[in-house]
Amino acid sequence: MAEPNHSPFWGRTRATGGPGSAPEREADDEGGGSPADLPLAGLGALVTGGGSGIGLACAAALLADGASVTIAGRSQERLAGAAAQLEPHVRAGATVTAVGCDVAEEASVAAAVARAAEPAGGLHLVVASAGIGTVGPVVALPLEEWRRVIDTNLTGAFLTFKHAGAAMVAGGGGGSMVAISSIASPLSHPFMAPYCVSKAGLDTLVRVTADELGRHGIRVNSVRPGLVKTELGDHLIDDPAVLDDYLAQMPISRTGTVEDVAGAVRYLCGPQASWVTGQCLGVDGGHTLRRGPVVEHWARALYGDDAIDGRR
């Protein structure tokens, strides 16, 4: 009896050259062995938000495992710098490519997905890392600010899954999609409602998409970081009161590194996770065992005492 197509990369075809394929490189310089034996060799990956922070570290990890990686974001300057930083991680036969993309714009996401499928002759891996934050009380938050965060963090991930998922189904080789969620999904973070809602919605989107696409050998999961040192995380880390509050809620009391998160993403993208789908993996020093952070003094400074005390 034929084995059912439940392996994430069952039937995949490896890139053999042609337009957009990588120039031949010398030997694998990160651990020996043939580059063709690397777990993600011949696979195409898209990393949104790949120009910085967690997305950039994920791109490096996927490149190290042999994938051809396309990083996407709005700032061309940021992307160019990131692509140069990633070059040393590119394995023989693979490429790194940068593409301008606003994840809140459907046509932009569709174009980025199409570009990401070119270097390896198909799209097999996606990391949805693009994200932003905001601080403000529910009773006074401007609607535009709510929409800005939801459009980027939640609708952006939906559009990424939509177009990348369709490309993976059409390719017929299965795949893995990983979204970067947050401890703000399960834990209340007072005065960060849009961010919390966007990440909770993202985790639900992950579960439903995993349920829908499993039949195509496509796995969908999220990683939930705690406080990680990045441009976004530094806003919190740079305030000693906020940092101390975060650290007090972590049994393993330190800030995370982008590599901590990328390690989990690398696992979820790779063959060792071939039976893992619809899951949210916490990488947070145990923060979700306790409570969310206190940033009330920021919200008070931004919106005033009346708004924080529920008066408008």
Ligand X SMILES: NC(=O)c1ccc[n+]([C@@H]2O[C@H](COP(=O)([O-])OP(=O)(O)OC[C@H]3O[C@@H](n4cnc5c(N)ncnc54)[C@H](OP(=O)(O)O)[C@@H]3O)[C@@H](O)[C@H]2O)c1
Question: Among 101-109, 115-123, 208-216, 291-299, which window interacts with ligand X (CB under 6 A)?
Answer: 101-109
Spatial neighbors of 101 by CB under 8 A, at least 6 apart, are 48, 72, 73, 74, 108, 109, 111, 112
Binding mask 139-178 for ligand X (x = CB under 6 A): -------------x---x----------------------
Give yes or no for residue 129 binding ligand X (CB under 6 A).
Answer: yes
Question: At closest approach, how far in Å is the CB of 60 from ligand X?
Answer: 13
- CB-based contact 192:185 (threshold 8 Å): no
Determine whether 252 is exposed, middle or buried from the number of CB atoms within 10 Å of its CB (0-12, 13-18, 19+): exposed
Rule CB under 6 A: choose which of 42, 122, 225, 282 binds ligand X. Answer: 225
Give yes or no for residue 74 binding ligand X (CB under 6 A).
Answer: yes
| Nearest of 74, 22, 67, 71 to residue 46 by alpha carbon | 71
Residue 284 and residue 305: Cα distance in Å, rounded? 32
Rule CB under 6 A: choose which of 47, 127, 205, 228 binds ligand X. Answer: 228
Question: Among 166-174, 231-239, 245-253, 287-295, which window interacts with ligand X (CB under 6 A)?
Answer: 231-239
| Nearest of 65, 48, 54, 53 to residue 113 by alpha carbon | 48
Rule CB under 6 A: choose which of 104, 126, 164, 280 binds ligand X. Answer: 104
Amino acid sitting at position 60: A
Rule CB under 6 A: choose which of 55, 119, 121, 122 binds ligand X. Answer: 55
Give yes or no for residue 204 binding ligand X (CB under 6 A).
Answer: no
- Is 195 known to be catalytic? yes
Which residues are annotated as catalytic?
195
